[in-house]
Amino acid sequence: MRPGFAQALAALVAFAAFAALAVPTAGLGAENSPFANKDTHYCLNCHAADPSGFAPPRYAPPKIVGQNAAYLIAALNDYRDGRRNHYLMQSPAETIARDTIAEVAEYLSKLDGTGLPEYPTAEPDLELAARGAELAGHLCVECHHADPARNKDAVPILNGQHPSYLTAAIRDYRLGVRRNKRMGDAVVGLSQEEVRAIVAYYAQLDGLYPWTGPRATP
């Protein structure tokens, strides 16, 4: 079997496994749901999946609804052009025609959680998050501001992102698996404990969808 084909087959099998990860959409039939959109309906099988199904070392696929459009465009182009690699994202990125990437990104960035499932979580560790806020204040908010409107162009919003994904992304920059000069420099000196604190800080901020905030106290 040619390696290219074997790889494509592996991706397809993995994709089918993910697609079977039924995201509960019944009763959520809002017309403007991304599940009903011709370009994005299958993206959300992964990108709105229940994060509790991903135990480390696996991580939940990142939330992309409400993400900064310029960043979505950059990320999709990076997958398409092989600057960023992941066996599950290669084929989805290639299915979006290059001239519709901006449109899809713009659409996803403007959505809120309407039509998406919600995954309530336990109360965040506020002490850890407060320590993270202090560290992020020195090291991260210059680019990843808590008010995303103050971020510059293609900087991703981290607010409310899945903790397992944030941790994995930081690890990937540290290992050089994901290459970005500014990010590599920003995280190279962090201890594991500092990463845990910063992740706890960003994850408990309100932001990206699907919603994964703390359960209301009974």
Please state, as a whole number, how many other Cβ atoms lie within 10 Å of the Cβ of residue 99: 7
| Span near ligand HEC by CB under 6 A; candidates 1-9, 27-35, 112-120, 181-189 | 181-189
Residue 89 lies near ligand HEC (rule: CB under 6 A): yes
**Burial bucket for residue 193 (CB in 10 Å: 0-12, 13-18, 19+):** exposed
In the chain, the amino acid numbered 8 is A
The verdict on 74 binding ligand HEC (CB under 6 A) reads yes
Q: Please, are residues 49 and 23 in contact by the beta-carbon 8 Å criterion? A: yes
**Rounded-to-integer distance, Cα 146 and Cα 135, Å:** 13
Please state whether the peptide bond connecting residue 57 to the residue before it is cis, i.e. omega within 30 degrees of 0: yes
Burial class from Cβ neighbours inside 10 Å (0-12, 13-18, 19+) for residue 89 reads buried
**Interface with ligand HEC (CB under 6 A), residue from 30, 110, 182, 214:** 182
Please select the residue that binds ligand HEC; options are 47, 66, 115, 197, rule is CB under 6 A. Answer: 47
Q: What CA–CA distance (Å, rounded) separates 187 from 133?
A: 15
By CB under 6 A, tell whether 65 contacts ligand HEC: no
Binder of ligand HEC out of 61, 115, 148, 163 (CB under 6 A): 61
Question: Minimum distance between the CB of residue 215 and ligand HEC, rounded to whole angstroms?
Answer: 25
What is the closest distance, in whole angstroms, from the C-beta atom of residue 217 to ligand HEC in the complex?
29
Regarding 96 and contact with ligand HEC (CB under 6 A), the answer is yes
Binding string, residues 141-170; x marks residues near ligand HEC by CB under 6 A: -xxx---------xxx-x-------x--xx
Give, to the nearest 10 degrees, the angle between helix 101-110 and helix 69-80.
140
Q: Shortest CA distance to 156 belongs to which of 117, 90, 205, 109? A: 109
Verify binding: residue 75, ligand HEC, rule CB under 6 A. Answer: yes
* Chain residues that interact with ligand HEC, rule: CB under 6 A: 15, 18, 40, 42-43, 45-47, 61-62, 64, 72, 74-76, 84, 86, 88-89, 92, 95-96, 104, 136, 139-140, 142-144, 154-156, 158, 166, 169-170, 178, 180, 182-183, 186-187, 198
